[in-house]
Structure 1
Amino acid sequence: MTRSWWGWGNVEDAVDETELRALLNRVRALVPGDLAGHEPPGIASLGLPAPRVTPPVSLAALCSAELADRAAHAHGKAFRDVVRNLQGDLRHVPDLVARPRDERDVTDLLDWCGRAGIAVIPYGGGSSVVGGVEPRCEDHPAVVTVDLERMDRVLEVDSTSRAARIQAGVFGPRLEDQLRPHGLTLRHFPQSFEFSTLGGWLATRAGGHYATLYTRIDDLVESMRVVTPSGVSASRRLPGSGAGPSPDRLFLGSEGTLGVITEAWMRLQDRPRWRARASVRFDDYAAAVAATRAIAQSGLNPANCRLLDASEALLNAGVSVGGGVLVLGFESAGHPVHRSLERALELCRDHGGEASADTRAASGAPSGSGPGEGTAGGSAVDTWRSAFLRMPYQRDALARHSVIAETFETACTWDTFETLHRAVTEAARQAMRETTGTGVVTCRFTHVYPDGPAPYFGVYAPGRWGGMVAQWDHIKAAVSEAIETSGGTITHHHAVGRDHRPWYDRQRPGPFAAALSAAKTALDPAGILNPGVLLPAR
């Protein structure tokens, strides 16, 4: 397979002509405008500047100055990144891409960059959608992106404790392939699973497979090893500890600003054998939200509990419904789960929900190794799951045809959800009226907690070729303001990066900001690690 330098995933998996025609036909019914296509530029035509730095002889074998490498590491995979790539706008590119083979190489690279004042961008799979890997480092003489893809092995498996020591550069599929012979799984499947790494999940506090209970990568960490310019931080393997603040919590979510995560001991699970799944339709959205809250607070802990509003259900599942569709899934390695599903369906019926006729349960079925595997239910939601996995590719195809198709997400408490949902939806619609004339807003829950949901919004609007970045930035700023003023978080699982910084600065407490800044100074005294992410660049 060939990775796309400008867009999502593999070139061979991009939208083909048949899929494109069907996609554009759906979009034309909702988003009027010129849908003429545009081809991505060739790398040779980009006019990238020559590298401003030459690595020392001892590190030369680790470093690449190839145009394709530098272009592919210039942006993440957000809509605005894809559009800028399509238009040949790569004004910030790394001078070199370094691929360390082990922790010693990471240390040597940081030592060299620290002495020379060179900015360092730690890089996992590059799937950031918040500017987290973009080298906007004007105050530094050069930028080196440190790509950990060579550090991709499961080093040890402790079957007794059900844990494994894993290098940070391993991509999701290769990680699961190495765990499968042991009958174990990390069971962390974000949408980016195929193209993201363990280190990236840890650095961004990624949300994964589970809609309840073990929703975040944080919950699966036993200990971590991090190389900083000031030394190596290695926490002790323990199931839990009350010995002061957690050292791992300092680095989880640090987004490459405090050190380079090189490996971690991760808590594993036996591979699931029993599954039960269903989809439930509602005529009223408020009732669907109430049913979802009842399940989240029931202690049933479904693996999947995704509520799609009517627009999301229609656009991406082909289901016409008045209120919404709730996707439910349960799984276990140790016992049948059909009774848990039955109880969840009872709660749905209490709120007017109607389970689809193809509700089904499976026992002893083999488990797969992809995002959301084994937890969708019903043919309509199977359609949605397929669309979910294709969404990034389809987003790229729509971008090539001047359609704004992008997402943003948050989390809030149940008592504030109605107010937040109304404010965010209206802000998005108003911003689209101002900049695109029209558009559609969708919402789904990706994760739910006893005390609140994580709403994930989608925006579809006609764009203007050459102006789509500015159009999206206007919409994004409007919805971010609505999220922040309504008491939500600026991000539930997409991280802060550079794009969310203005709202993150307002969300975090002042004393914590001071403590984080002090930690940055202590661990990265030269200020070379991912400047401008989480904190102002020094």
Structure 2
Amino acid sequence: MTRSWWGWGNVEDAVGGAELRALLDRVTALMPGELTDHEPPGIASLGLSAPRVTPPGSLAALCSADPADRAAHAHGKAFRDIVRNLQGDLRHVPDLVARPRDERDVTDLLDWCGREGIAVIPFGGGSSVVGGVEPRCEGHPGVVTMDLERMDRVLEVDGTSRAARIQAGVFGPHLENQLRPHGLTLRHFPQSFEFSTLGGWLATRAGGHYATLYTHIDDLVESMRVVTPAGVSASRRLPGSGAGPSPDRLFLGSEGTLGVITEAWMRLQERPRRRARASVRFGDYAAAVAATRAIAQSGLNPANCRLLDAAEALINAGVSVGGGVLVLGFESADHPVHHSLERALELCRDHGGEPSAATGGDARAGEPGEDAGGGSAVDTWRSSFLRMPYQRDALARHSVIAETFETACTWDTFETLHRAVTEAARQAMREVTGTGVVTCRFTHVYPDGPAPYFGVYAPGRWGSAVAQWDHIKAAVSEAIETSGGTITHHHAVGRDHRPWYDRQRPGPFAAALSAAKTALDPAGVLNPGVLLPAP
């Protein structure tokens, strides 16, 4: 397989043929108009500037100045990144891409960059959608992207405690393949699973497979090892501790600004063998939300509990429904789960839901998205879910704005937030595109609130699509912040969310974080501009 330098995933998996025709037919049905394809440019045509820095001889073998390498590390994978790549707009590229082989290499690279004032951007899979890996680092003589892909091994497995010591650069599939012979799994499957790494999940507090209970990677961390310019932080491996503020919590979500995560002990579980699942249709959206809340507060803790509104169900599951579709799934390694599913379906019926025929049985070794079944409509949505980034790229090539934004709020504020965000998105689309569609689904639910995930589909103009999306994004971000939601539930802050993150976090905490940054990264070279103002 060949990784795409400009877009999502593998070149061979790009949308084409009948899938592309069907996708474009659905879009033109919603937004009539001519759709013109735009081919991505060749690397040679980008005209990248020459590297501004030269590594010392001892580090030269770790560093690449290859134009294709630099271009592939210039942006993340947000809609605005894809469009800029398609237009050949790479204003900021790393001077070098460094690939350390071990922790000693990480230390040596940080020492060199610290001495020279060279900015360092830790890089996992590069799937950031918030500008988290983009080298917008003004005031530095150069930028080095530190790609940890060579550090990709499971170093130890503790079957007794069900934990493993894992290097941070391992991609999701390779991690699961190394755990499979032990009958264990991390069971953390974000949508980016195939193209993201453990270190990236930790650095961005990624949300994964579980819709309830173990929703974030935080819940699966036993201890972490982080290399900082001021030294190595290695927390003690414990099931829990009340010894002051948690050192791991300082680095979880730090997005490469405080240090480079090199490895972690992660909590594992047996691979699931029992599964039960179903989908439930609702004629009324408010009733669907109420049913979802009842399940989230029931203590049943389903592995999957994702509510698709009518627009999401139609566009991505091919289901025409008045209120929405709730996707439910339970799983276990050692006990039947049909009774849990039946109780959840009973709660749905109490709110007017109409369940599909439940399915279940022995599970295969778990893979991303397998929990979503329960009827052909939801199977369609599951397949679409895994194809969404590729489809987004295909639409971007045709000047269609197709992007997402997510948040979390308490149940009592959801209706207000949902209305404010939807209205802000629609108004912004009217202003810059004339029309558009907004969808919403819950990716995760908690007893005290949901994590709504919104989608936007609008006709863009080639050459203006980035500015159009930025206008829409700013409008919805304002609506989220003023309605009491979080600017991000699991996409991270990066550079793009900074203005709203600055307003969300408490002032004393901001001061403490800034002090930690100064103490751990005195030269200010680690991912400048992310989480905190660049020095």
Same fold (TM over 0.5): yes
Matched positions, count: 534
Residue 334 of structure 1 deviates from its aligned partner by 1.1
* Distance across 2 between alignment mates of 1:159 and 1:256: 31
Residue 16 of structure 1 deviates from its aligned partner by 1.4
Unaligned runs of 5+ in 1: none
Residue 364 of structure 1 deviates from its aligned partner by 8.7
* Distance across 1 between alignment mates of 2:372 and 2:32: 35
Residue 375 of structure 1 deviates from its aligned partner by 3.5
* Residues 259-278 of structure 1 deviation map (CA, whole Å, 9 limit, x = unaligned): 00000000000000100000
* Residues 121-157 of structure 1 deviation map (CA, whole Å, 9 limit, x = unaligned): 0000000000000000011000000000000000000
Cα–Cα, structure 1 residues 173 and 365, in superposed 2: closer, same or farther, change >3 Å? farther
* Residues 304-362 of structure 1 deviation map (CA, whole Å, 9 limit, x = unaligned): 00000000000000000000000000000010000000000000000000002xxxx99
Native 8 Å contact 1:304 1:376 kept in 2: no
Stretch deviating more after TM superposition (366-375 or 13-22):
366-375
Identical-pair percentage: 91
* Distance across 2 between alignment mates of 1:330 and 1:100: 40
* Residues 411-430 of structure 1 deviation map (CA, whole Å, 9 limit, x = unaligned): 00000000000000000000
Partner of 1:369: 365
Native 8 Å contact 1:276 1:375 kept in 2: no
1:458 aligns to 2:452 (yes or no): no
Native 8 Å contact 2:283 2:324 kept in 1: yes
* Residues 225-252 of structure 1 deviation map (CA, whole Å, 9 limit, x = unaligned): 0000000000000000000000000000
* Distance across 2 between alignment mates of 1:145 and 1:512: 28
Native 8 Å contact 2:372 2:382 kept in 1: no
* Distance across 2 between alignment mates of 1:67 and 1:500: 29
* Distance across 1 between alignment mates of 2:212 and 2:440: 18
Native 8 Å contact 2:154 2:165 kept in 1: yes
* Distance across 2 between alignment mates of 1:416 and 1:369: 39
Native 8 Å contact 2:271 2:365 kept in 1: no
Give me the TM-score of the superposition, normalised by structure 1: 0.98
1:456 aligns to what SS in structure 2?
strand
* Residues 488-526 of structure 1 deviation map (CA, whole Å, 9 limit, x = unaligned): 000000000000000000000000000000000000000
Native 8 Å contact 2:518 2:524 kept in 1: yes
Residue 369 of structure 1 deviates from its aligned partner by 6.1
Stretch deviating more after TM superposition (376-385 or 68-77):
376-385
Residue 363 of structure 1 deviates from its aligned partner by 9.2
Native 8 Å contact 1:497 1:533 kept in 2: yes
Native 8 Å contact 1:296 1:449 kept in 2: yes
Native 8 Å contact 1:331 1:375 kept in 2: no
Cα–Cα, structure 1 residues 436 and 71, in superposed 2: closer, same or farther, change >3 Å? same
2:495 aligns to what SS in structure 1?
coil
Structure 1 moving runs of 4+ over 4 Å: 361-370
1:490 aligns to 2:487 (yes or no): yes
1:474 aligns to 2:471 (yes or no): yes
Residue 378 of structure 1 deviates from its aligned partner by 1.0
2:463 aligns to what SS in structure 1?
coil
Give me the TM-score of the superposition, normalised by structure 2: 0.99
CA RMSD of aligned residues (A): 1.0
Native 8 Å contact 2:372 2:378 kept in 1: no
2:164 aligns to what SS in structure 1?
strand
Residue 376 of structure 1 deviates from its aligned partner by 2.5
1:444 aligns to what SS in structure 2?
strand
Cα–Cα, structure 1 residues 366 and 98, in superposed 2: closer, same or farther, change >3 Å? farther
Native 8 Å contact 2:359 2:374 kept in 1: no
* Distance across 2 between alignment mates of 1:364 and 1:290: 25
Unaligned runs of 5+ in 2: none
1:121 aligns to what SS in structure 2?
strand
* Distance across 2 between alignment mates of 1:367 and 1:488: 36
Equivalent of residue 384 in structure 2, options 384, 387, 395: 387
Cα–Cα, structure 1 residues 528 and 129, in superposed 2: closer, same or farther, change >3 Å? same
Partner of 2:425: 428
Cα–Cα, structure 1 residues 378 and 33, in superposed 2: closer, same or farther, change >3 Å? same
Residue 31 of structure 1 deviates from its aligned partner by 1.6
Residue 18 of structure 1 deviates from its aligned partner by 1.4
* Residues 371-412 of structure 1 deviation map (CA, whole Å, 9 limit, x = unaligned): 221332211000000000000000000000010000000000
Residue 34 of structure 1 deviates from its aligned partner by 2.6
* Distance across 2 between alignment mates of 1:58 and 1:171: 28
2:275 aligns to what SS in structure 1?
strand
* Distance across 2 between alignment mates of 1:299 and 1:462: 43
* Residues 87-121 of structure 1 deviation map (CA, whole Å, 9 limit, x = unaligned): 00000000000000000000000000000000000
Cα–Cα, structure 1 residues 512 and 369, in superposed 2: closer, same or farther, change >3 Å? farther
Native 8 Å contact 2:304 2:371 kept in 1: no
